[in-house]
Amino acid sequence: MSLDGSPFADHLGTNYVPSDAEVAEIRSLLAGPEENLARLNAEIEALERALIELREKREALKQPIDAHRALISPIRLLPFDILAEIFLACLPSKREALIDESKAPLLLGRICRHWRAVAYSTPALWSSIHIPWESECPPAILAKLETVVDAWLRRSAACSLSVSLAVPYHAVDVAFDSKGHKLILQVLSVSGRLCHLGLNGGSELLRPFLQLGQQDLPRLRSIAINCLNDQFSSGDASYMEPLQVSTLQHISLIARDVNPLTLPINWSQLTRLRLECEGRRGIFGGVEGGLVLDDALNVLRRASNLVFCHLRFYHTPTAVGPQTFSSSAPIILPHIRTLTLTDVILEKWISHLVAPNLRYLQIGSTSADAEDTGLSVGVDVYSLAGNAFQELLQCLPSISRLRVFGNHYGPQRLDKAYIASFYAPYNLCPSLTHLKIHTADLSDGDVLELAKARIAMPTPLKRLEIHLSRRMEVDLLPELEAFIPHGLRVELIYQQTQWEFHPPHGLQHHIWEPMYYS
């Protein structure tokens, strides 16, 4: 019996309350359909039981089939050398391998006997390692750290090694002997195979490595020292021995109170350089010493073969405003592709730079959007004094991607006077295709004027992104859509509303207990 012609159809889904007679009628109407429903449920249960039985039979047959198929899987049939290459591709490419059983190469030795045999007999798989200090290791690793490092280094056979070692900045135990510590001795024993050495910690604890010379490090090509310890600034030349190795091409030095020009470095052989030489705290506050602009530019003049360079400056207490430099000699860097200068105020320096292959320039903390062709530039305008911003644009006409960051609360506001450089009659950066402006103090008319001016250039702008330091006043979307046929995409990001209604604001969530007075 169907309920399609039910006299109660108009009341279904409502709050209608039937009378006693209607209740009896409804029960009579449901008798037949409920019998049909029970019969259908029984049929479904029978089919589900049959389906479960079929699945159990299928699984019983599938398991041995899968086990046999696994024996002839392609990964099992790979030749030794191809499997070894796959293992090598599992290693991290931008850092040393970790002592972590969930990551390569240790993980590869835990899969099966065959993989373990391949992994343990592939020396290149064990050619890099980061060794954390004992206090940073969990108990499971600490108990066997020295054994793991020893086995790791033995598996590397005669391969050149990339080793990173972290030690404390100060010895907790006054009786600590860095020269006799097992981990340090293990790394020192393979110094002749080191091609990269990363050291992080206190200079006293790292002294055995900082005294290694040419004969100890015949393969060394790269060294990274992170040693923010005042003792590093001592005049003991033995602290700088690794920097004199003739094969050295890459140096990263993060240290305190060090003048890089006094270091025994063959600057002309370097291709990658990172210097962050922090000054020491003065008696009356502020910072004294550290890397200053004049010294940094002299470093660049000496390191003429650089491809990558990152320099971080530290101001002295008297360095108010732009840092000056004494020499106007050109800075010729024919091979450099990446140059980063942070924490410095520059003025009239870019005209001295000769860098025909420069592809990435960063001034301040604002990074650029890098690309394979063209020049990408990121600029904090508060790092450029006077007319240095306009000078930068004039001296680098090949800029294709530019990202500019302003200071809404300071004098370096990105207003119309700044972006006027992109209009006629200046039309700077003729090759510009991507422009991002952060913290801009521009009106809607300024934005539209900039967009119209750049799409009319011989090389039209493709992407314009502006972060405005105000809230939206007028929706410019209809006018911005007119630029789409010209190939220009415009994105405007406005400042968030400063105040929003929050109903629970001020509501007390504490449950106050009654106070009783005796």
Angle (CA) 412 377 295, round 5°: 80
pLDDT tens, residue by residue, 71-83: 898 888 899 999 9
The pTM score is 0.79
The mean of the pLDDT values for the chain is 85
Give the HSE-up count for residue 157: Cα atoms under 13 Å, Cβ half-sphere. 8
Q: Cβ atoms within 10 A of the Cβ of 79, count?
A: 8
The pLDDT, as a whole number, for residue 123 is 98
Q: What is the DSSP string of 185-209?
A: HHHHTTGGGEEEEEEES-HHHHHHH
The pLDDT, as a whole number, for residue 256 is 80
Residue with tokens 């004094």: 385
pLDDT tens, residue by residue, 438-485: 888 888 899 999 999 999 999 999 999 999 888 888 888 888 888 889
The pLDDT, as a whole number, for residue 111 is 92
The pLDDT, as a whole number, for residue 419 is 86
The pLDDT, as a whole number, for residue 168 is 78
pLDDT tens, residue by residue, 208-261: 998 999 999 999 999 999 987 655 544 555 567 899 999 999 999 988 877 888
Token duo for residue 509:
């969530």
How do 194-200 and 161-166 pair as beta strands? parallel
Mean pLDDT on 364-390? 80
Predicted confidence band of residue 280 (pLDDT cuts 50, 70, 90): low
- How many Å apart are CA 182 and CA 162, to the nearest integer? 19
pLDDT at 372 over 50: yes
The pLDDT, as a whole number, for residue 167 is 83
The pLDDT, as a whole number, for residue 176 is 52
pLDDT tens, residue by residue, 21-53: 999 999 999 988 999 999 999 999 999 999 999
pLDDT at 408 over 50: yes
The pLDDT, as a whole number, for residue 480 is 86
Residue with tokens 């320099």: 311
Mean pLDDT on 405-429? 78
Predicted confidence band of residue 285 (pLDDT cuts 50, 70, 90): low
The pLDDT, as a whole number, for residue 429 is 92
Mean pLDDT on 404-409? 73
Predicted confidence band of residue 364 (pLDDT cuts 50, 70, 90): confident
The pLDDT, as a whole number, for residue 303 is 96
pLDDT at 87 over 60: yes
pLDDT at 175 over 50: no
Is 300 buried (19+), middle (13-18) or exposed (0-12) by CB count in 10 A? buried
- pLDDT higher at 134 or 389: 389
Measured in degrees and rounded to the nearest 5, phi and psi for residue 93 equal -95, -15
The pLDDT, as a whole number, for residue 517 is 40
Predicted confidence band of residue 288 (pLDDT cuts 50, 70, 90): low
- pLDDT higher at 386 or 161: 161
pLDDT tens, residue by residue, 107-164: 999 999 999 999 999 999 999 999 987 766 667 676 788 899 999 999 999 999 999 9
The pLDDT, as a whole number, for residue 320 is 44
Mean pLDDT on 487-513? 72
- How many Å apart are CA 136 and CA 132, to the nearest integer? 6
pLDDT at 171 over 70: no
Sign of the Cα torsion 316, 319, 320, 323 reads negative
pLDDT at 373 over 90: no
The pLDDT, as a whole number, for residue 234 is 45
Q: Cα-Cα-Cα-Cα dihedral of 353, 349, 319, 365, to 10°?
A: -70
pLDDT tens, residue by residue, 300-334: 999 999 999 999 876 544 444 555 566 678 999 99
